[in-house]
């Protein structure tokens, strides 16, 4: 199997023109972006969610809910155990 990363690292030597290296890297990036776009379209087509809610929005909402739960747990801990919460607060700050 051809190792693209090793090839690109080897191509950055002085013997290889920088412009050509950048061209190859940009072509590989565009190819990667095309593949990930196609994969996300396929994943989007298989999801049971309505079309007006893209996957990235759902992921952001899940992350936001997790952050809110962590804040709620911290506040609960601070109310129930003030001495311990001050030590935790000093670690966070």
Give residue limits of the domains in the chain: 1-46, 49-93
**Tokens 């090839």 sit on residue:** 7
Residues of the chain with pLDDT under 50: 1, 11-14, 93
* Paired tokens of 5: 């990363």
Instruction: Assess contact for 74 and 82: CB atoms under 8 A.
Output: no
58: which residues sit within 8 A by CB, 6+ positions away? 49
pLDDT in tens, 41-54: 655 555 555 555 56
pLDDT for residue 60: 74
Q: How far is CA 87 from the centre of its chain?
A: 31
pTM of the model: 0.28
What are the Cα distances from residue 33, in Å, to 15, 40, 43, 61, 65?
Answer: 29, 10, 15, 24, 29
Cα–Cα distance, 53 to 48 (Å, whole number): 10
């Amino acid at each position: 199997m051809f190792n693209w990363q090793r090839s690109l690292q080897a191509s950055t030597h002085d013997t290889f023109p920088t412009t050509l290296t950048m061209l190859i890297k940009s072509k590989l990036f565009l190819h990667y972006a095309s593949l990930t776009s196609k994969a996300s379209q396929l994943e989007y087509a298989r999801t049971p969610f309505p079309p007006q809610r893209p996957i990235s929005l759902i992921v952001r909402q899940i992350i936001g809910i997790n952050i809110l739960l962590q804040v709620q747990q911290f506040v609960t801990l601070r109310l129930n155990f003030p001495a311990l919460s001050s030590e935790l607060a000093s670690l966070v700050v």
